[in-house]
Structure 1
Amino acid sequence: MDRLNYHHLRYFREVAREGHLTRAAERLNLSQSALSAQIRQLEERLGHALFARRGRQLILTEAGRIALDHAERIFGAGEELLSVLGDGAGRARPLRIGALSTLSRNFQLQFLRPVLAADPDAVPLALVSGSAAVLLPRLAGLALDVVLSTEPHDAMAYPGLHARHIAAQPVALVGRASRIAGRSADWLLANQPVILPTESSIRTGFDAYCARTGITPTIVAEVDDMAMVRLLARQDVGVALAPRVVLEDEIAAGMIMQAPGDLGIVERFYAITAARDFPHPAMARLFAAGAVNP
């Protein structure tokens, strides 16, 4: 089987972008007849018509839209390759961030703030969420630049990865002022419904605290997503255990209060990276002193 001619594909992309054969030919410095012949050869190779005529305008068929999507990705990957290994003149390289799906969205924003504050065209972002089982193999395969987590990775399973401790926050009881005001953490745990994250360090610390104080809490919800912990607390389902960063906007607005007292539970945040000869240049900004201070 003949291989795909990428010159034909590039010409097709220009025609698809212009929607007009004559203008595309002028841009490519080709005759209209030569360009038309190139498009016909591509259509013959793919076995489908890529354009339908509407007057003098060329409209992509369904096969044409599929071909254009692939063409953009193919040539975009080439431009990115030039940016990474070539002369830097290609497309700006995306910064690929993976984060546990349970991780606080507020924390993710704080981590990304050094690159969000810069020219948005300079550092395009690709954000992916998922489990460690999904994200860590992609990081090890260099498909991600960093993975944000509340736990370090298994160093035996991924010896080429490095976990950097980037922040820590005490976990507190938070909730509506009508539940929290004037009451201690112990009273709240004993007398109010509790929204409990299943994140391991929080759950382990919570169980140890209850065993130490003899408190038997009423757990109204066990949640594996900090975004849902935030929503349940806002809806006054109960008091929630969470780092302050999870509900910082609601606390600042006076919607949510933090109970006094120290539970002795700390949530730690890690940035996991792979050893690379060509790290993304924006990574240095993310790890600069003070870049993460939730």
Structure 2
Amino acid sequence: MLELNYHHLRYFRAVAHDGNLTRTAERLNLSQSALSIQIKQLEERLGHALFERRGRQLFLTEAGRIALDHADTIFSAGEELVETLKETGRTRRAIRIGSLATLSRNFQIEFLRPILGRSDVDIILRSGSAGELLGALEGLNLDIVLLNQPPMAQATTPFIAQHIYQQRVSLVGRPSYGEPGAKLSDLLASHPVILPTLESGVRTQFEALATRLGVTPQVAAEVDDMAMMRLLAREGAGLAVLPPIVVKGELETGALVEFDALPGMIESFYAVTVKRRFPNPLIGPLLEPALERTIGT
């Protein structure tokens, strides 16, 4: 059976992430020729070239990309092993949380609240697209991912998606737009609206509602970022279609008003994990309060 030299793999991974042999050699306190030999030996063992040179830069080949994916998984698993099994005298534990870049910051704070301020916890937050975050979760670089839609089922990676929160969706805007409780169809006919993009489940719900009401609203903006929707509503660009939690502070100060809850419309939030032999023990304190709130709704 062909054995892999993990020293070679570690050096390859460092060069792959740096993209520059000279810089990596300096960082690792190695000669450039010694590092090149390590990479060459790994390529010979795998039977494929892992890099191609373009000018002074190194770029991964297709085989190199596959090797890097495996290397990241291997060394991330090793780091997780050390974190999980090291002596109990450790005083702090890290939890790595990924969140969809467009997700409400207020929702994220509410989710994190059970561990905020704990002196024994390091919170590491990362944002990105759903694909990027789920890839990092699969590679053991994240412990949990927050999304507004459950991931598609995959045979290779059984993601565990738990519905942790949902909130009604409302029309929100400046107080000058009228009195709260005004007739919904009149509001939609009289003022432009700020909508999520077509990929959003909320947008689909809104289009169906507008059809039922027999109105064709003027669209002021289509936005995939809840934070930007909040800013546009504050600037008076139109009535925003979003969950009130997104503008919690503005509603409390009166800068914005919730005019009407949109019937039948909800925004859902999911916490996604993968099955692990040694799951991060901080996941429980985060999920339990969220799941209790969901069950109680």
Partner AA of 2:142 in structure 1: L
Structure 1 residue 117, shift from structure 2 partner: 3.8
Structure 1 residue 104, shift from structure 2 partner: 0.3
In 1, the alpha carbon distance for the partners of 2:163 and 2:28 equals: 56
> What's 1:137 paired with?
135
> What's 2:185 paired with?
186
Cα deviation code 1:252-273 (max 9, x no counterpart): 1111100134432110110000
User: Which structure 2 residues correspond to residues 1-294 of structure 1 after superposition, within 5 A?
Assistant: 46=30, 81-90=81-90, 92-119=92-119, 122-156=120-154, 159-182=157-180, 183-198=182-197, 200-289=200-289, 293=293
Structure 1 residue 216, shift from structure 2 partner: 0.5
In 2, the alpha carbon distance for the partners of 1:230 and 1:44 equals: 46
Structure 1 residue 44, shift from structure 2 partner: 11
In 2, the alpha carbon distance for the partners of 1:292 and 1:166 equals: 8
**Aligned-CA RMSD value:** 2.8
Cα deviation code 1:109-149 (max 9, x no counterpart): 00000010422xx1101111111111101111111011000
In 2, the alpha carbon distance for the partners of 1:45 and 1:218 equals: 62
- Corresponding residue pairs, total: 225
SS across alignment from 2:269: strand
> Does the CA contact (< 8 Å) of 1:164 and 1:270 recur in 2?
yes
> Does the CA contact (< 8 Å) of 1:95 and 1:123 recur in 2?
yes
> Does the CA contact (< 8 Å) of 1:184 and 1:261 recur in 2?
no
In 2, the alpha carbon distance for the partners of 1:253 and 1:239 equals: 18
Partner AA of 1:171 in structure 2: V
In 2, the alpha carbon distance for the partners of 1:79 and 1:211 equals: 53
Structure 1 residue 86, shift from structure 2 partner: 2.4
In 1, the alpha carbon distance for the partners of 2:157 and 2:31 equals: 47
> What's 2:50 paired with?
none
In 1, the alpha carbon distance for the partners of 2:139 and 2:108 equals: 22
Instruction: Mark the runs of 5 or more structure 2 residues left unpaired by the alignment.
Output: 1-6, 9-25, 33-76
Structure 1 residue 184, shift from structure 2 partner: 2.4
> Does the CA contact (< 8 Å) of 1:83 and 1:92 recur in 2?
no
Cα deviation code 1:187-218 (max 9, x no counterpart): 11111010001252110100100111110000
Which stretch of the first structure deviates more once superposed, 97-106 or 253-262? 253-262
> Does the CA contact (< 8 Å) of 2:98 and 2:133 recur in 1?
yes
In 2, the alpha carbon distance for the partners of 1:238 and 1:118 equals: 40
SS across alignment from 2:254: coil
Which stretch of the first structure deviates more once superposed, 153-162 or 125-134? 153-162
SS across alignment from 2:88: coil
> Does the CA contact (< 8 Å) of 1:226 and 1:246 recur in 2?
yes
State the percentage of identical aligned residues.
Answer: 45
Larger Rg: 1
In 2, the alpha carbon distance for the partners of 1:137 and 1:290 equals: 24
In 2, the alpha carbon distance for the partners of 1:133 and 1:79 equals: 23
In 2, the alpha carbon distance for the partners of 1:178 and 1:103 equals: 27
In 2, the alpha carbon distance for the partners of 1:44 and 1:102 equals: 38
Q: 1:43 to 1:236 in 2, by over 3 A?
A: closer
Q: 1:138 to 1:290 in 2, by over 3 A?
A: closer
In 1, the alpha carbon distance for the partners of 2:284 and 2:79 equals: 23
SS across alignment from 1:289: helix
Partner AA of 1:218 in structure 2: Q
